[in-house]
Amino acid sequence: MGQQKFQGKKICVVTGTSSGLGLKTTKALLKTGFYHVIGAVRDMEKMAVVAEEEGFGSDENFTPMQLDLASFASVRQFVDKLNEFKADKPLDRLVCNAAVYQPSLNEAQWSEDGIEQQMQINFLSHFLLTSLLLPEMTKEKGSVDPRVIMVGSVTGNDNTVGGGGVYPIADLRDLEGLAEGAKAPIAMMDGRNFNGAKAYKDSKLAIMMTTNLLHDKYAKSTGIAFSSMYPGCIAASPLFREKKPWFRKLFPVFMRYITGGYVGEEEAGQRLFQVITDPRCTRSGVYWSWNGGPREGRGVEAVKNGGKIVGAGGEGGGWDTIFENEQSDKVRDTEKAQLLFKYATQITKAEWPLAKGAVSPCPTLRVIGAITAILDKQEELQRKTKRAQPKTMGEVLERLAF
């Protein structure tokens, strides 16, 4: 049923499709005619207006569905509705894009679940969403070339100027806040005082760490490619709506003409579109970035290196400038990632499938396995029987007394 309804098109879920990066990416996907995009958005009325303005309001390949990432209950309801809608058709792409940035707040804003909004919307709810949809993307479900893509940020990757040279620096420390449940009044993953800008950066660091752990844990057994990406600094993005008017006016100018790191929404959308569609991006465990081409104002080094300034991500350069960017020590901290995974699972009540390794199809293994299971049961029975035997005269008398 589901296969016929979608006519062979891949199903792609994109969170945050009503504006910014998510909207531009959705437009690019729909132009191909090869994807049915599920637009996961909080405000369905806004999505309807935007879809009409952008020309895909009546597109049979676009289906908006409500998803409020500030509510774990909404995440579960979205997954139930999606599974009903797609029926037996596997999910091919999950793009975790939606995010909020609240650097100007003096006090934390809390979600429906009593969790700081940036922590939940940017990270924890996407964490839960991924856990619920993972079983729908496996090879067993018939998904071909499935991909889970997390939109990270240079601000969560502190081995570059953009991430390590701008205060505050992303740092989860020992995850004290998550260990204590991350409920109000605890507003930060590290349990320290609330800082709006750092909360955003920490959420991006957490989502990039989780991507790596999912790669290690599930890539081989499921066939899913887990990757994160940084599309460049979309300085004119609605993401900066919390900033002061003067900042919103001058920041794009600064990024375009001084740092060379500016990227427009259209080009950023093409970059995320590339990670979704390009055969080169089937590699798992990668942090994708792009290099803008050399141009005046980027400095002598940019010209010497053909514009390839690692981590710059400026505009221009095109499809072939994609590269596998280096991840910081914090992002690659596997021990902390495992703790992060544990605490996030407890907070969200996520249920992850068992990570199964490859097993030889040889029938001998199945026979030996069945025999071993029988022998193990017999051995366990003998062990319990032996343990139950009285060892002293006192134990014998005690049993006789009853």
CATH of 2-348, one of 3.20.20.70, 2.40.37.10, 3.90.950.20, 3.40.50.720: 3.40.50.720
**What per-residue confidence (pLDDT) applies to 155?**
79
Nearest to 123 by CA among 84, 62, 64, 170: 170
Summarised one tens digit per residue, pLDDT across range 142-188 is 888 999 999 998 878 877 666 666 779 999 999 999 999 999 999 99
**What per-residue confidence (pLDDT) applies to 163?**
63
**What per-residue confidence (pLDDT) applies to 57?**
78
Active site residue 200: yes
Tokens read off for 347: 């907070």
Q: Which residues contact 229 (CB under 8 A, 6 or more apart)?
A: 149, 150, 151, 152, 271, 272, 275, 287, 288, 289
**What per-residue confidence (pLDDT) applies to 397?**
58
**What per-residue confidence (pLDDT) applies to 255?**
45
Calpha distance 56→31 (Å, rounded): 10
pTM here is 0.82
**What per-residue confidence (pLDDT) applies to 250?**
42
Distance of CA 89 to the CA centre of its chain: 22
**What per-residue confidence (pLDDT) applies to 158?**
75
**What per-residue confidence (pLDDT) applies to 58?**
79
Return the domain boundaries, the chain: 2-348, 363-401
User: Which of 35, 200, 262, 287 is labelled catalytic?
Assistant: 200
**What per-residue confidence (pLDDT) applies to 169?**
94
Question: Which of the residues in the chain have pLDDT under 50?
Answer: 237, 239-241, 243, 246-260, 293-298, 302-303, 306-312, 402
